[in-house]
Amino acid sequence: MANNGRRPFDVLDSSKDGNVLVQLKGYSGTTTTVSGELQAFDKHLNIWLNNASVKTEDGTTQYGKLFLRGDNILFVSPE
């Protein structure tokens, strides 16, 4: 698959103000998925989301603004 000269951060940058799906690293066998509107990110993959929702095995929780630390992120995908 051709990447058209785009780097991973270029893809993320083009997703600003759009929805992204973030999978967090699982601890103790748990899975946590976060989705929301990407506002900003940095070189450490720290991410700021608006209108975020966090889905765990126990259910879904809605948040207005949410900051995710890059150390806890497994992957990010534009929705």
Model-level pTM greater than 0.95?
no
Across the chain, where does the E strand assignment appear? 19-24, 32-41, 47-56, 59-62, 65-68, 73-78
Of 11 and 37, the one with more pLDDT: 37
Average predicted confidence (pLDDT) for the chain? 91
Q: What is the pLDDT of residues 29-50, one digit of tens each?
A: 788 999 999 999 999 999 999 9
Check if the beta carbon of residue 61 is closer than 8 Å to that of residue 51: no
Domain residue extents for the chain: 18-78
What CATH class has 18-78? mainly beta
